[in-house]
Amino acid sequence: MSEKRTEISDLGEFGLIDHLNEKVKLQNDSTLKGIGDDAAVIDAADHVKVVTTDLLLEGVHFDLAYAPLPHVGFKAVAVNVSDIAAMNAIPKQITVSIALSNRFSVEAVDALYSGIRAACEHYGVDLVGGDTTASRSGLVISITAIGEAQKGQITYRNGAKENDILCVTGDLGGALVGLQILEREKQVFLANPDMRPDLEKYTIVTGRQLKPDARMDIIHELRELGVVPTSMMDISDGLASEIFHICKSSNVGATIYEDKLPIDKQTFDTAVELNLDPITCVLNGGEDYELLFTIDQKDFEKLEKHPDIHFIGHISKAEEGKFLVTKSGTAVAIKAQGWKHF
């Protein structure tokens, strides 16, 4: 009898997570949200705790040929803090687990932890534990972050309503373009080790790739302005993919406008230099760690003048679909290409 074998690539990352989630039964009333959002939400009497975890592998998520260890440490914390921010919560604690091969010295681990400590200070979180083990395949880092919020402040992916305004913070596409530059310069260096890479011109985009900053500043500002988004998530896999997540979870459609999409000048110029379409970088580039959220129209006035929040479109009925209106006024269906891991 032959056993059926299904390739993971047939399901994809999100399909695999859905597949696993189908058989998971929650048993505790305190589990307010399980699998399926940026973080789990746990009842803690007068408030809620949020928990998220991320795994980073050398050679898959970072390349030590161009990523300095302190930056890897900082980024490993920032990507978790970004998922806490995406729930509209405040990060409080992290645990850090590492697996090390014998390539790594105590000095190397110190360098990694200098970045982790810098991020802890930057985001006001305490490093409260972890695990250390040997690895046969380079460096592996797994971080879990715990945050807090009041019950009414938590923002899920499923709260977007028709006519809500779609907002993004900062600018998009920089991390992908930065990665392409770092990869290009690595190849140049490998071909001729005497060549010193000239990265001076690209510091904004390479910085976006090597040392992303989670948008906790925006979370604090939303509080000060008294705005609770109707839905929110962070942009780790690309804007198009995240719009699909919000629309699927909230059972809505969306229209976004090309001329409203935020792109930095250096990202634009570098994309053109690399023969990449800047708008494709904005829609499908991963790892920007900006926030995508929806607000009720009544809150627009409060955010209207914010210099780093961009209003890119609106939410529609599910049956109206997901569209990008180009600069020439044509509506094209959005494809959730995203970052394919498998």
Residue 17, interface with ligand ADP (CB under 6 A)? Answer: yes
Please identify which residue in 32, 38, 172, 241 interacts with ligand ADP, judged by CB under 6 A. 38
Among left, alpha and beta (phi > 0; psi -120 to 50; other), residue 59 is: left
Alpha carbon 43 to its chain centroid, in Å, reads: 25
Query: Which entry of Mg ion, ligand ADP, none binds 35, CB below 5 to 8 A by partner kind?
Result: ligand ADP
Q: Considering the complex, state which of residue 34 and residue 207 has its C-beta at the smaller distance from ligand ADP.
A: 34
Residue 177 CB, shortest distance to Mg ion, in Å, is 21
Of 120, 113, 119, whose CA–CA distance to 98 is shortest?
A: 113
Tell me the residue nearest to Mg ion as measured from the CB: 38
Q: Strand ranges (DSSP E) for the chain?
A: 31-33, 40-44, 47-57, 90-100, 126-134, 140-149, 165-169, 231-235, 252-257, 290-295, 309-317, 322-325, 331-333
Residue 287, interface with Mg ion (CB under 5 A)? Answer: no
Please identify which residue in 12, 36, 130, 207 interacts with ligand ADP, judged by CB under 6 A. 36
Q: Considering the complex, state which of residue 229 and residue 278 has its C-beta at the smaller distance from ligand ADP.
A: 229
Residue 272, interface with ligand ADP (CB under 6 A)? Answer: no
Query: Segment near ligand ADP (CB under 6 A), from 4-12, 36-44, 116-124, 207-215?
Result: 36-44
Residue 38, interface with Mg ion (CB under 5 A)? Answer: yes
Residue pair 43/32 in contact (Cβ under 8 Å)? The answer is yes
Residue 37, interface with Mg ion (CB under 5 A)? Answer: no
Q: How many angstroms separate the CA atoms of 160 and 181, rounded?
A: 36
Residue 329 CB, shortest distance to ligand ADP, in Å, is 33
In 3-state terms the chain splits into helix, strand, coil percentages (rounded to 5) of 40, 25, 35
Q: Where does this chain bind ligand ADP (CB under 6 A)?
A: 17, 20, 35-38, 54, 83, 236
